[in-house]
Amino acid sequence: MIQDLKQIVGDKWVIKDEERRLYGFDGLTAVKGEPELVVLPGNEEEAIAVIRYLIQNRRKIIIRGSGTSLSGATVPVEGDEVVVSLSRLNKVYGIRGLEIEVGPGIANALVTKSCPPHLFYAPDPASYQVSSIGGNISHDSGGVHVVKYGPTFNSVVSVKVILANGNVEEIKPSPFLNPTSIFIGGEGGLGAVLRARLRLYPKPKSRKSVFATFNDVKDAGKAIIDIFKKGVIPSALEMMDRYSIIAIEKSRYRAGLPEVEAILLIELDGSEIQVKSEESRVRDVISENNGEIINPKEPEKFWSARRGAFPAMGVISPAYITLDCNVLRSNLPEVLAKIREISIKQNLYIANVFHAGDGNLHPLISYNPEDFDSFVKAVKASDEIEKLVIESGGVPSGEHGIGIEKVKYLDLYYDEKSLEVMKKIKTTFDTYGLFNPCKTLGGCKAYTKELKVLWEWD
């Protein structure tokens, strides 16, 4: 097999030695595996040839991009998987009107940089500098601007995929159906994205940032609700609590953030008249909810601090679990208060930094990776938070995916019929279960002590 694959991609791009262990984990560092082999095709033709070869030989395949998944979606947990990294498929194939066609390995940030100066690509997860478009599509990633422009789903026009039977298809919407939706959020379990046509947006004529501090998390949560009640749809609406502020100000991302219970970062865009009108309404809401407007000298530093909140947690703890459960905006004040209670009860450092505009929570639950009991404690806290969100009408995942991290929450959220339909879709596309085994729907026999904690209820 190694010799056959080397003939397709060249000796340098088939990794069998110790270096392959670098592909045994992703952004969910709690679980590490070891692939049997790693292959890095250099173009679309090589990728198709490699994947077809592996399908024909019934080898398990994990499609990987930049490895920024926070749900363990690219971790080889069984040990006999072949990781096919599409990071070298990073071409821009063309721009036409308000559409750009790219390879799956291109970094999110490079899509906008490749556009004409009057256009931009809207989805921008915190890892946008490095996360790849293929991974963004596979997890329906969101980002800071999701509240106005929507997640990745809203910006995908069509995808070219290689299915689990080896066929290459271009999937695009019809007047009645949008079959791309099966692959957007499919977490690499139905095939591999080879190319994507993405929607671009004209840059707004005016853009304004408003920053507000609060001495009570509930007041901040109420302000978020009231902004929308005033008829304002911000282009971005983010929140950081006291614990995330402390982490940021101790790290290289420090921006002079005041140590308060919560900060809202609000961005408005559109015409100048629209932005001025919305800013006035937003300021009224902040005042009505006991907030205080602040005017930093370098506002962009505040946004950079928000984007750096995840890595900033490294100054607090060597590891953390990142959830991405979504809650109704109307329930934000209550849920945030209860997460703070869980943090105190479990004696855990839990920082909340999240996409407040669409209620996409990101509790960062710290633990010590050298202390297994510490990991168990963090997972128990995440279980409590997920149950709380689901009982409050929310969903277990908003953008990071199920991967191996949230498999046990599926039974908590979905009914039997829904799970049955999802399993039928998986087996229809991937009859032999070759693509990304053990992920999303579970059903894996491989068990480590970490997986046992993640997959089983206490």
What per-residue confidence (pLDDT) applies to 442?
Answer: 81
Of 208, 156, 214, residue with least CA distance to 185: 156
Q: Is the pLDDT of residue 444 over 90?
A: no
Tell me the pLDDT tens digit for each residue of 135-161.
999 999 999 999 999 999 999 999 999
Tell me the pLDDT tens digit for each residue of 338-361.
999 999 999 999 999 999 999 999
What per-residue confidence (pLDDT) applies to 67?
Answer: 95
pLDDT band for position 168 (50/70/90)? very high
Q: Is the pLDDT of residue 176 over 90?
A: no
What per-residue confidence (pLDDT) applies to 175?
Answer: 83
Tell me the pLDDT tens digit for each residue of 107-141.
999 999 999 999 999 999 989 999 999 999 999 99
pLDDT band for position 8 (50/70/90)? very high
| Alpha helices per DSSP H over 66-201 | 108-113, 133-139, 146-149, 180-183
Tell me the pLDDT tens digit for each residue of 393-412.
999 999 999 999 999 999 99
The two three-digit tokens of residue 131, written as one number = 């996360």
Tell whether the torsion through CA atoms of 141, 145, 148 and 154 is positive or negative.
negative
Contacts of residue 209, defined as CB under 8 A and 6 or more positions apart, other chains included, come to: 265, 266, 267, 268, 299, 302, 303
Across the chain, mean pLDDT equals 95
* DSSP 3-state of 457: coil
The two three-digit tokens of residue 436, written as one number = 């990304």
Q: Of all helices (H) and strands (E), which one includes residue 56?
A: helix 44-56
Helix pair 217-229, 332-346: axis angle to 10 deg: 160
Percent of the chain scoring above 90 in pLDDT? 95
Tell me the pLDDT tens digit for each residue of 430-442.
999 999 999 998 8
Q: Is the pLDDT of residue 424 over 90?
A: yes
**Average pLDDT of span 255-260:** 96
What per-residue confidence (pLDDT) applies to 191?
Answer: 95
Tell me the pLDDT tens digit for each residue of 269-313.
999 999 999 999 999 999 999 999 999 999 999 999 999 999 999
What per-residue confidence (pLDDT) applies to 174?
Answer: 84
What per-residue confidence (pLDDT) applies to 446?
Answer: 78
What per-residue confidence (pLDDT) applies to 227?
Answer: 98
What per-residue confidence (pLDDT) applies to 431?
Answer: 94
Contacts of residue 254, defined as CB under 8 A and 6 or more positions apart, other chains included, come to: 248, 305
Tell me the pLDDT tens digit for each residue of 24-37.
999 999 999 999 99
What per-residue confidence (pLDDT) applies to 447?
Answer: 82
Structural domains of the chain, ranges and CATH numbers in brackets: 2-85 (3.30.43.10), 92-202 (3.30.465.10), 206-391 (3.40.462.10)
What per-residue confidence (pLDDT) applies to 345?
Answer: 94
Q: Is the pLDDT of residue 177 over 90?
A: no
pLDDT band for position 363 (50/70/90)? very high
